[in-house]
Chain A
Amino acid sequence: MYIAGIDVGGTNTDAALIKDDVVVATGKVPTRHDDLVESTEAALETILAAYQGSAPLELHLSTTLSTNTIVEGRGDPTAVLAVPGPGMRIEELNLGFPVHILSGSVDHRGREVAGITAHEVQAALDAAQEAGMAALAIVGKFSHRNPTHELQIEALVKEATQKFRHITLGHRLSGRPNFPRRLATSYLNAGVAGQQALFVEMVKRLMIRGRNIGKVFLLKADGGTMTLDDSLARPVETILSGPAASLMGAQALTEHPEGNAVIVDIGGTTTDISVQVAGEPVFERQGAEIAGHKTLVPALFARSIGLGGDSEVRVISPKDGPSRLQIGPKRAGTPAALGGSKVTPTDAAVVLELARIGDVNRAREAIADLGAAMGLGIEAAAEAVIERFTQQLVQEIEDTYTYLESRPVYTISELLAPLDIRPRVLIGLGGPAEVFIPLAGKAMDLTWEVLPCYKEANAIGAAASRPTAAVTLHADTALGRVTVPEMDYMGEIRRAMLFDMKKARAEAMEWAARKGESLGITSLGDIAIMEEESFNMVRGFHTVGRIFMIRAQVRPEVRRITERGKGETLDADYQA
């Protein structure tokens, strides 16, 4: 089976074609932001020559469309209708977008405390139309426990005369708590939905232009994929898919897919540090952050630091101590070796012949100036830069683990016997990885690996990714109620006395399977329970019920890819 992975990046659009578990072609074209479909098509063309199958080609797209729309503030004007109830005042939240507050409230167990008022909704819609709003987000506090208010408002909107391009309901996007994040996620989702719809149309046209393209999937921030149709309702999940693609590429290509590892993607300006524990990537606890908005969008954990091949190199001479080097966090620009004016870590690598790019003499000149400021010769100065870079990188990796290990836990067992997340392997990718990963690995006393074809890891990661989806089941036997917000489900528990953890798990798995079905997942083995908790409810010294929370997920798995060296083996594949 052939899968094409395409990653639309800020500068380039990368493409990779995999056949079964082997990379058979890669390609690259400049990204055209004015016509993403055009450059996507061009990238696809670069690899299609290697596609020799008769079965339709599966296409995995990682695009910056939603990310850019949000970062550049080009989303549709969106009105947010919120039912906050009592608690923190919305004005204190610094959401960065206006919110229309409606009365009504739901409590922490999902009980309605006060109903919504139809005429308030109407007034909000009038105001939204007046203000020229094209999209609508409807969000209630605790709507993940009881979505009734959101659904009632949606029904009122559908009856109303005002029309909106898109309506997002908060509870459908995530079963996790956090009202401010639900507001932000819904607002962003509604705002990008219009552009996403256009994009989906264009991709469908691309599919029918005489090419044998079968299913099309879009990459998400959690490293999984979603169908094109699904993306119409939940476009916000495609944000930050670029970094996710790289990380999935690393997981697909590494020789160390099991166990604990730290994955370091060293770029020109920044380095991204990600963490793998027992073969699984670590996720952000609550969700992705984008353009200052904290969201509930599931995302792979990555710590981005201002350290890269093009970073600024400065000599800091404090009055009360020896002078030292500081690399980053600012970008210096193009390395001197490549025609830039400032000295960079890349120049140090060129001087020491650790990298063979650009003009060695220009690199030497730049490093010589730096050396003069430090009282060192050229080679010694270059070595000092490389050493300092490695030190800073190792420190940042250490800080990342300290941060992850200090994340709060709420049980005694987790506090006393914390999960061992420390890495055994250092996996590197990105241009400067070849220089720094071996040094950092040595400094940290870790096995290290520099990934093959790191330059295309993002496109390969896109190709290697598989569908993911999660559902959250909340059952409250005292209220006799089960909620699965992502599936728009709220139902009764018929025999509350008999509803136990086993039943709760089975039901959650069933919902996840149903969700998986729409993504083309048939094997239940791909579904796992990621989180669960249950509490006895005692009132007046009597047990009156139990509360269950189960999060079941179609696992974010990645296809393992082997990269046969380009050149002769690739030719062999062409002939096969």
Chain B
Amino acid sequence: MQTTKHKVGLLFFPAFDWAISPDHPEREERLLYTRDQIMEEGLLDVPGIEEFRPEVATDVQINRAHVCVPSVSNVITESHRIAAGGSIVAADLVLTGKVDRSFALLRPPGHHANRIVHGSRGFCTINNEAIMVEHIRHTYGKNLRIAIVDTDAHHADGTQDIFYNDPGILHISLHQDGRTLYPGTGFINERGGPAAYGQTINVPLPPGTGDEGLLYAVRNLVLPILEEFKPDLIINAAGQDNHYTDPLTNMNVTARGYAQLTELLSPDIVVLEGGYSIEGALPYVNAGLLLALAGLDYSAAREPDWSEDRVRQSPRVTETIKEIVGQLQEMWHTRQDVDLAEVFGNAPIFKRHRRIYYDTDNIMEEQVEEIRMCSSCSGWRSIYSGAAQGVSLGLGRTTMIAAVLVPWHACTKCRAEAEAKFQEAERSGRFRHVYLQDVERDIYRRS
């Protein structure tokens, strides 16, 4: 007999036998105390909370969201496949109606992983949410409108990169201001590509933001935007490093704040991202989150060292948040009035040039991306990417690749052009590998 308001499927996979390195924050111990808390609270005995076993994501599933260089198995371990596979199961549970909501409480995280993957950055190699989203659109319908709300303290630059020009996706990232924290991006002027302008929303929060500020932004910005976007599915990339005890960030959010956030957001699927206060935060945040997701009383889920004074948000921080939220509200309302030519130019191709650093693996990538401006679809893209390890020391040998991407709902013309580009790049001999990714037709080719 179910006693919860919502039936919740839990994918708990702490990967007790995997670490990036023994002393790395992403190590065996990370979810140990979370397990202890969940087990001791008896949460898995609650009728209405059911635990499921993750599956192992396949190359095909991963290649819908990524171009891994040189290949999937070269850049990831089994642990990554299980984290992505667990996220996929979490989605299947909800979309087949087995549960109302699901929580993929697993590691390693993924939201810093871009479309092109040369290695690991920000503890992430492949993007769990993105792989899940592409699985969902493949299995349950390409017209599904999906909102991803990333509440990790770090900007979800990887997820933003993957869905930057995807009109089917709304991506909102709330994070500590990029001027004060890795990865140093996620400013309000990053608003998406020409085909999805305004659907990338970044909410940089000042250091010291607590429950009050985070929930203010959710109530006044995130919820109204969701209301308007009307997604078929809401995914919460739930990093837990906004917590006041997190060693890597400077935020003031509490377990109860996370639970309230979950209650307000009412996500269909929650996926754990970062969060490295493994004793002081994670056990309580995860317990609170699970309770809130199930619709149970979370008012007693509190950290042992919690005190009102410790987590109080300063008036200055409150003011700053109100200003940012005000600005973003305005930007959302006027997004369709923006002259895209002013932002992206009048040329048939919009080009962007980026340098991407992989801190975990010490790789520097240089990337040129070209988006075709198409009036019938979101336009095919080509990405030229060169990467080398240990560049700072001048040791690396650069690997150059080209990737041709065909978007969902591509028009015949774009598809044909992309195909021709793939062959041309292949013939040119300039690239170590050339990739063609046609996600809708599930075609993935590598030369």
Residues on A facing B (Cβ under 8 Å): 84-89, 91-94, 105, 107-109, 113-114, 141-142, 177-181, 286, 294, 406-413, 415-416, 533, 535-538, 540-543, 547
Give 19 A-B pairs besides A86-B303, A543-B23 with Cβ atoms closer than 8 angstroms: A86-B284, A86-B304, A87-B301, A88-B291, A88-B296, A89-B296, A89-B297, A92-B3, A92-B296, A105-B304, A107-B304, A114-B304, A141-B40, A178-B45, A406-B53, A411-B15, A415-B82, A537-B29, A538-B29
* B32 to chain A: closest residue by CB: A535
Q: Which chain B positions have C-beta within 8 A of A108?
A: 33, 36-37, 40, 279, 283
Measured CB to CB, the closest approach of chain A to B120, in angstroms, equals 17
CB <8 Å contact, B45 and A536: no
Q: Which chain B positions have C-beta within 8 A of A94?
A: 3
CB <8 Å contact, A410 and B37: no
Q: Which chain B positions have C-beta within 8 A of A533?
A: 16
* A179 to chain B: closest residue by CB: B40
How extensive is the interface on chain B, given as a class?
Answer: 35 or more
* A176 to chain B: closest residue by CB: B39
Q: Which chain B positions have C-beta within 8 A of A84?
A: 300
CB <8 Å contact, B16 and A87: no
Q: Which chain A positions have C-beta within 8 A of B13?
A: 408, 410, 415
* A94 to chain B: closest residue by CB: B3
B394 interfacial by beta-carbon distance below 8 Å: no
Q: Which chain A positions have C-beta within 8 A of B51?
A: 408
Measured in the bound complex, the distance between the Cα atoms of B299 and A200 in whole Å is 46
> What are 28 sample pairs from A and B whose C-beta atoms fall under 8 A apart?
A86-B284, A88-B301, A89-B299, A105-B304, A141-B40, A141-B41, A177-B36, A177-B40, A179-B40, A180-B42, A181-B45, A294-B42, A406-B52, A407-B53, A408-B12, A408-B52, A410-B12, A410-B15, A411-B15, A411-B16, A415-B54, A416-B78, A536-B27, A536-B29, A537-B29, A538-B22, A540-B247, A542-B23
Q: Which chain B positions have C-beta within 8 A of A93?
A: 42
Measured CB to CB, the closest approach of chain B to A296, in angstroms, equals 10
CB <8 Å contact, B28 and A536: yes
Measured CB to CB, the closest approach of chain B to A93, in angstroms, equals 7
Contact with A along B265-289 (1 / 0, CB 8 A): 0000000000000010001100100
Measured in the bound complex, the distance between the Cα atoms of B303 and A85 in whole Å is 10
Measured in the bound complex, the distance between the Cα atoms of B52 and A543 in whole Å is 33
Measured in the bound complex, the distance between the Cα atoms of B36 and A142 in whole Å is 9
Residues on B facing A (Cβ under 8 Å): 3, 12-18, 22-23, 27-29, 32-33, 35-37, 39-43, 45-46, 51-54, 56, 78-79, 82, 247, 279, 283-284, 287, 291, 296-297, 299-304
Measured CB to CB, the closest approach of chain A to B92, in angstroms, equals 14
CB <8 Å contact, A109 and B33: yes
Measured in the bound complex, the distance between the Cα atoms of B354 and A494 in whole Å is 56
CB <8 Å contact, A86 and B12: no
Measured in the bound complex, the distance between the Cα atoms of B29 and A410 in whole Å is 12
CB <8 Å contact, A541 and B42: no
Measured in the bound complex, the distance between the Cα atoms of B17 and A409 in whole Å is 11
Q: Which of B18, B37, B40, B52 has the most CB of A within 10 A?
A: B40
Q: Which chain A positions have C-beta within 8 A of B279?
A: 108-109
CB <8 Å contact, A179 and B37: no
* A143 to chain B: closest residue by CB: B40
Q: Which of A89, A113, A407, A415 has the most CB of B within 10 A?
A: A415
* B51 to chain A: closest residue by CB: A408
CB <8 Å contact, A86 and B301: yes
Measured in the bound complex, the distance between the Cα atoms of B304 and A244 in whole Å is 42
Partner of A412, one of B18, B32, B304: B18
Q: Which chain A positions have C-beta within 8 A of B37?
A: 87, 108
